[in-house]
Amino acid sequence: MGVDPGLTRCGIGIVEASNGRRVQMVAVDVARTKPEMAPHYRLLLISEAIEEAIARHQPDVLAVERVFAQENVRSVTGTAQVAGIVMLAAAKAGLPLGMHTPSEVKAAVTGNGRAEKNQVQLMVQRILRLDAPPRPKDAADALAIAICHAWRGGALHMDSVDRAQHGGAGMLPRAEGADLTPAQRIWAGAERISRRHGAVEPKERQS
């Protein structure tokens, strides 16, 4: 189950992965809240939607976008609050937790860590063999996060502390080695690019 955290729109996508790289969509939804609502009630609505999705679909793992940004502090604060709710929901359900940067997710589904939103939507459509690109973009992003985690084989489960998952120094993924696949090298490069810039593009959503 992948979650694209956002306070106005929170994407929730569930995929089923089989042997190899074959994945299929199980469900997708977007939890929405109104900006005029009190923040704690907005968080409650999103929390309830996430917990309902977990109860309904019984995922094996929960994956969420790792949040950090230089600009639009108000927006990223709300996004980080929702990411915290996702982490708590995983703990309450006893699920492993995966966290992936937007660059990692883009690299996983498109091969380009700097891909545009529409490219991600189109590739998610192609990978999941859908009749149309998932909309809104939050839905496509949630499915992309789930696909990314499935293809990484759960390598970033957060059952132990990993400072890199929280923006800490060091512990970047290894970028070289004969045992790395081309996709793993792309992910490692995307992670280094995002960490070097210290940010990702601001969320195009209200907070």
Q: What would the 3-class secondary structure string for 160-205 be?
A: CCCHHHHCCCCCCCCCCCCCCCHHHHHHHHHHHHHHHHCCCCCCCC
Residue 131 counted as an annotated binding residue: no
The annotation status of 162 as a binding-site residue, yes or no, is: no
How far is residue 127 CA from its own chain's centroid?
Answer: 16
For every residue of 34-56, DSSP letters joined together read -TTS-HHHHHHHHHHHHHHHHHH
Partners of residue 12 on adjacent β-strands? 3, 29
Contact 117, 137 (CB under 8 A): yes
Question: Which are the catalytic amino acids?
Answer: 4, 65, 138
65 is in an annotated binding site: yes
Binding-site residue set? 4, 65, 138
Binding-site residue set for Mg(2+)? 4, 65, 138
